[in-house]
Amino acid sequence: MARRLFSATRALLRAVPSPSPSSSAAAAAAAASLLPLLPCKRRRKLRKKLSSPRVAPIEPEAARRVPELDAVLDREAAFRFLARARSFLASLPPPHRIPLAEAGKLYRELGFPRGRSVSRAAARHPLLFHLPRVDSVPHLALTPLMCSLLEEERRLHDQLLPTRVRAVRKLLMLADHRRIPLAKLHHCRAVLGLPDDFRDRVREFPGDFRVAVDPDGRDVLELARWDPALAVSALERDFVVDERRVRRTFRFAVPHSRSMPLDAEDADRLDAATTFPLVSPYTSGALLRPWTPEAEKYRVGVVHEFLSLTLEKRALIHHIFEFKEELGLTRHMHASLRKQSRAFYLAGTEMNWAVFLRDAYGGDGDLREKDPLVLFNEKLRRYACMTKMDSSEARRS
C-alpha cells in the first residue's frame, strides 16, 4: 500500500508543472499544496523544510506580498553565477581563465551551488563563457564577446565615477565619525554601483577622501570635508516637491488604549503630530536617547537614505547591516521597517531578505529611473539568455 502511495505521489509530482522561476513564493506554495497527498513521514519532512528560515517568507501575510518585487530577487538569484563569475574572471590577468578543476572548488566566488557542476552553470550562458582546452586541460574562460562587454562596462564606470564619489561622500556623512572601512565598501560595491578597483582609485580624490588605518589595522576611508549641500536627504528633497506624498509615506503611531474614544480621523491626526517633523539622517544619532520615537525616526531615515544611494534602490539586509556600527542600526530594524510598509517592502526569506524603496519601483516591478549601469546589466542578461543560434539569427535579421 505504501509503495503504491509513493508511486502515485511521484506521478503527481511529475504531473504538476514546475513553478516559474520568477516566484520562489509560488514554488513554496505549490509544495505546500502537495502536503495532504504525501505519507506522514514525507509530510513531516516537507513541512519542516517549508518552515525553515531558508524557505519561510519574511512577509508571512500573502495578501501583503508584491509578486513583481519578489520576482526581482528571483531574477537576481538566477543570474548569480553570471554576476560573480564575470567579476572573478575579470580580476584575473589576461586571458581571464582558470582550470575547470580549480573552478569547481570556488563555488562561493563563482556563485554556483556547492556540489553542482561549474561547467553546467557556464553552459547556460554560451555567448559569455566557454570551456577551452589549454594543453589538453579544460578551462573556464570568458568569450571575446564577454571581454568586449567588460571593456564597455569599464568605460561606463569611468564616466559614472564622479556620481559614485558623490554617493560615497554622502554615505560617509551618514556614518558615525565620518569613516567606513574600505573592505566594507568593497564587499558592497555591486550594491552601490562602485567599480571593482574603487579601493585603489580613492586616492585620486584627495579633496574628498583620506585613507587611514584604524586601531584594528584596517584601512578606513575618511571624509576629507563636510559639504552642507550634500547633507540633504532624498526625503527632504521629495518633501519640497510633494509634501503630501511624504506625509502619507511614514507613520509613527502613538499607542493608546481602547478606552480612549478616538475615531480614524482623530487617530491619524494624533499620529501625524508624533510623525512630524522627521529627523534628518545627517544629524548625529549618538545625541538621541535610545528607544525614543526620535531615535526610531533617525534609524528609519538612515535606511531610507542608504537605499536611495544604492544602484537599484534596494539592498539585502546583510548589506545594510554591513554598516551597522557606522550607521547606528539595531537588531530591531525588521520591526521598524515593517511598520513603515508604505515606504519599504520586505522581500525574500527569513534568512536572506531584502528591503526595497517602494516609491522607486512601478507597478510592474521595474525601476522608475534607471542608472546607466542598470541598463548595461539588463543588456548583459539578455545576452546571457541567448544561445549561439539566437545570436546568429539576430545578426541575419
Question: Which one-letter amino acid corresponds to residue 247?
Answer: R
Domain end: 176, 196, 223, which one?
Answer: 223
* Residue 3 falls inside a structural domain: no
In the block, cell 586571458 appears at: 95
The verdict on 234 and 218 lying in the same domain is no
Mean pLDDT by 10 residues, the chain (397 residues): 39 39 58 62 63 77 90 92 94 91 93 90 94 93 95 96 96 94 94 94 93 91 94 86 75 60 58 65 84 85 95 95 92 89 90 93 93 96 83 53
Helices in 40-177 by DSSP H: which ranges? 40-50, 67-78, 80-91, 100-103, 107-110, 118-123, 144-174
Q: What is the model's pLDDT at position 3?
A: 40
Pairwise CA distance, residues 343 & 391, whole Å: 41
Domain end: 191, 208, 223, which one?
Answer: 223
Q: What is the model's pLDDT at position 291?
A: 78
* Residue 72 falls inside a structural domain: yes
| CA dihedral angle for residue 16, residue 111, residue 192, residue 203, rounded to 10 degrees | -170
pTM of structure: 0.83
Q: What is the model's pLDDT at position 11?
A: 43
Pairwise CA distance, residues 397 & 390, whole Å: 11
Q: What is the model's pLDDT at position 209?
A: 95
The verdict on 254 and 342 lying in the same domain is yes
Quote the domain boundaries for residue 191. Answer: 157-223
Phi, psi of 140 (to 5 degrees): -100, 125
Q: What is the model's pLDDT at position 392?
A: 56
The verdict on 209 and 100 lying in the same domain is no
Extract the C-alpha cell encoding 200.
Answer: 585603489
The verdict on 251 and 317 lying in the same domain is yes
247 contacts: CB under 8 Å, gap ≥ 6: 272, 275, 276
* Residue 300 falls inside a structural domain: yes
Pairwise CA distance, residues 76 & 99, whole Å: 26
Pairwise CA distance, residues 188 & 186, whole Å: 5
Question: Which one-letter amino acid corresponds to residue 50?
Answer: L
Specify the CATH number for the domain of residue 182.
3.30.420
Extract the C-alpha cell encoding 385.
Answer: 539568455
The verdict on 349 and 281 lying in the same domain is yes
338 contacts: CB under 8 Å, gap ≥ 6: 346
Phi, psi of 137 (to 5 degrees): -105, 120
The verdict on 174 and 261 lying in the same domain is no
Between CA 39 and CA 47, with CA 45 as vertex, the angle to 5 degrees is: 95
The verdict on 103 and 162 lying in the same domain is no
Q: What is the model's pLDDT at position 59?
A: 85
The verdict on 131 and 210 lying in the same domain is no
* Residue 152 falls inside a structural domain: no
3-state SS, residue 353: strand
Q: What is the model's pLDDT at position 10?
A: 41
Q: What is the model's pLDDT at position 276?
A: 59
Exposure string for 196-224, b = 16+ CB within 10 A, e = fewer:
bebbebbeeeeebbbeeeeeeeeebbebe
The verdict on 190 and 262 lying in the same domain is no
Q: What is the model's pLDDT at position 264?
A: 60
Contact 128, 143 (CB under 8 A): yes
- Report how far apart, in Å, the C-alpha atoms of 4 and of each of 7, 34, 37, 178, 343 are: 5, 17, 12, 67, 52
Extract the C-alpha cell encoding 50.
Answer: 517549508
* Residue 392 falls inside a structural domain: no
Domain end: 73, 107, 142, which one?
Answer: 142
Pairwise CA distance, residues 5 & 287, whole Å: 65
Pairwise CA distance, residues 32 & 9, whole Å: 14
* Residue 274 falls inside a structural domain: yes
**Could you tell me how many helices (H) and strands (E) the chain has, helices first?**
21, 10
* Residue 391 falls inside a structural domain: no
The verdict on 199 and 86 lying in the same domain is no
Indicate the number of domains in the chain: 3
Contact 65, 25 (CB under 8 A): yes
Pairwise CA distance, residues 63 & 239, whole Å: 30
The verdict on 265 and 364 lying in the same domain is yes
* Residue 44 falls inside a structural domain: no
The verdict on 185 and 137 lying in the same domain is no
Extract the C-alpha cell encoding 330.
Answer: 539595531
Q: What is the model's pLDDT at position 87?
A: 93
| CA dihedral angle for residue 260, residue 264, residue 269, residue 273, rounded to 10 degrees | 60
- Report how far apart, in Å, the C-alpha atoms of 66 and of each of 1, 72, 74, 348, 369 are: 42, 10, 13, 11, 19
